[in-house]
């Protein structure tokens, strides 16, 4: 079945090539398609294109299809082009001509646009929750090991004292900015494109404000041409937010791979979190962090890929957009898996509390020694030269009592302030509202 079928036979090679992976990809957005259809037919009834009896019969049938999808029993049959066609086919089998009425006032273009927006919204809500879980794990470790010092590096050279409180807390605050960017993508995505049809509106008196309210969107894309131009653009914006988050996770994974190596020996993982070698019996490899890094690095290429597909398209719809789904939809699930695995592993990291007893790290305290001399009244440049001379002469013997007190330093982590920033951005993701919207559409609330 094809929604555009006019009785003409399409060459089988052309058909296979143009359908591509749609049947596979559309399983991601199947539930969203049903919810969008319920909102659309509710609107159609309000403008006289469906009777109340037809609406009730359609909503009941669609709720049953949604249940099949939620339970993993839904399939797109062979010979059916996509999820939109399959849903309409099931409705027509059950309700006859009534099932054929659901497409009035919309095109596959705005139907696909809507489905992707709804699926992306659900995914971003889940990603935000997974980020919250990781944030709490990082902050917990920061507090647990706040007094444990470790070397800070610049140019991979021993530089100044740091602490595990700072290190874990740094990535927690990085997640705060990542969440801020993700909330921007969420808001841009959370606008209703339904009613733009093929990109030029409809001669039906559609009530686009009603579908916006029914689907829980914050607003709608008013200009129907721009609504279609948003296909690909919104995905790229979302992909950029995901890539930004992936960059943070990749960098953290690299730190952890270094820290767990024998040359550093800063942290350990339980044996069950590591893998071995086929010929070296002593090996305990941090494969989990290496794979997190690789998967995150792959995700960082996604905005460029989408930009390359859409970069030279004129306004209006083009089939090029179909290809974006193949990378974009799985990426939303991929970043969730990465976040959950990272949280799981971070929670099991144990820290070496005796790192700085190794004499190779004594130069960490050179800056603190300079500052101590300055506090005693010696000009900074003179103090710098004095300490430098001691190091050159091999007589440097610093005090190792660290007294950093300013905001965000070893002795004043400001984890509560960082948590406040995170909470502010996290509150912008109202998952409870969206769950109520779904329940209302499916008739699960009184």
Catalytic residues: 155, 277
HEC string for the chain:
CCCCCCCCCCCHHHHHHHHCCHHHHCCCCHHHHHHHHHHHHHHHHHCCCCCHHHHHHHHHHHHHHHHHHHCCCCCCCCCCCCHHHHHHHHHHHHHHHHHHHCCCCCCHHHHHHHHHHHHHHHHHHHHHHHHHHHHHHHHHHHHHCCCCEEEEEECCEEEEEEEHHHHHHHHHHHHHHHHHHHHHHHHHHCEECCCCCCCCCCCCCCCHHHHHHHCCCCEECCCHHHHHHHHHHHHHHHHHHHHHHHHHHHHHHHHHHHHHCCCCCCEECCHHHCECCCCCCCCCECHHHHHHHHHHHHHCCHHHHHHHHHCCCCCCCCCHHHHHHHHHHHHHHHHHHHHHHHHHHHCCCEECCCHHHCHHHHHHHHHHHHHHHHHCCCCHHHHHHHHHHHHHHCCCCCCCCCCCCCCCECCECCHHHHHHHHHHHHCCCCHHHHHHHHHHHCCCCC
CA-to-CA separations, 147 to 150, 190, 302, in angstroms, rounded = 10, 43, 39
Find out whether 411 and 403 touch, Cβ atoms under 8 Å.
yes
Q: How far, in Å, CA of 64 to CA of 55, rounded?
A: 14
Inter-axis angle of helices 224-260 and 164-189, nearest 10: 170
Exposed e or buried b per residue across 282-295, where buried means at least 16 C-beta atoms within 10 angstroms of its C-beta: eebebebbeebbeb
Burial classification of residue 164, based on how many CB atoms lie within 10 Å of its CB (0-12 exposed, 13-18 middle, 19 or more buried):
buried
Q: How far, in Å, CA of 237 to CA of 188, rounded?
A: 8
Q: How far, in Å, CA of 316 to CA of 335, rounded?
A: 31
């Amino acid at each position: 079945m094809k929604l555009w079928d006019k009785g003409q036979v399409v060459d089988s090679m052309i058909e296979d090539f143009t359908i591509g992976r749609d049947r596979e990809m559309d399983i991601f957005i199947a539930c969203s398609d049903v919810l969008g259809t319920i909102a659309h037919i509710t609107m159609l009834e309000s403008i006289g294109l469906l009777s109340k009896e037809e609406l009730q019969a359609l909503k009941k049938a669609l709720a049953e299809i949604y249940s099949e999808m939620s339970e993993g029993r839904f399939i797109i049959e062979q010979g059916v082009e996509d999820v939109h066609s399959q849903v309409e086919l099931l409705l027509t089998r059950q309700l006859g001509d009534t099932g054929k009425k659901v497409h009035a006032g919309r095109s596959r273009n705005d139907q696909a646009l809507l489905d992707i927006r709804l699926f992306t919204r659900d995914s971003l809500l889940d990603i935000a929750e997974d980020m919250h879980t990781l944030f709490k794990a990082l902050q917990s470790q920061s507090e647990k090991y706040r007094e444990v010092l470790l070397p800070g590096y610049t140019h991979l050279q021993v530089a100044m004292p740091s602490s595990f409180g700072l290190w874990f807390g740094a990535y927690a605050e990085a997640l705060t900015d990542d969440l801020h960017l993700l909330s921007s993508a969420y808001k841009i995505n959370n606008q209703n494109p339904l009613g733009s049809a093929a990109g030029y509106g409809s001669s039906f008196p559609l009530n686009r404000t009603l579908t916006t309210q029914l689907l829980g969107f914050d607003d709608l894309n008013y200009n129907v041409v721009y609504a279609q131009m948003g296909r690909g653009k919104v995905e790229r914006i979302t992909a950029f937010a995901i890539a930004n988050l992936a960059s943070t996770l990749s960098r953290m994974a690299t730190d952890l791979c270094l820290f767990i190596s024998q040359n550093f020996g800063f942290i350990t993982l339980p044996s069950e979190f590591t893998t071995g070698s086929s010929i070296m019996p002593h090996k305990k490899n941090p494969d989990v962090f290496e794979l997190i890094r690789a998967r995150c690095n792959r995700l960082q290429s996604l905005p460029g890929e989408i930009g390359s597909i859409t970069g030279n398209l004129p306004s209006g719809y083009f089939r090029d957009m179909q290809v974006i789904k193949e990378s974009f939809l799985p990426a939303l699930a991929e970043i969730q898996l990465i976040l959950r695995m990272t949280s799981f592993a971070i929670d099991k990291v144990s820290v070496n509390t005796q790192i700085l007893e190794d004499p190779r790290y004594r130069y960490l305290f050179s800056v603190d020694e300079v500052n101590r001399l300055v506090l005693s009244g010696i000009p900074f440049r003179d103090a710098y030269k004095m300490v430098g001379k001691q190091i050159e002469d091999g007589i440097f013997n610093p005090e190792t009592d660290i007294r950093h007190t300013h905001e965000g330093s070893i002795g004043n982590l400001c984890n509560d302030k960082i948590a406040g920033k995170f909470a502010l951005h996290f509150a912008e993701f109202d998952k409870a509202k969206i769950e109520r919207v779904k329940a209302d559409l499916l008739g699960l609330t009184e």
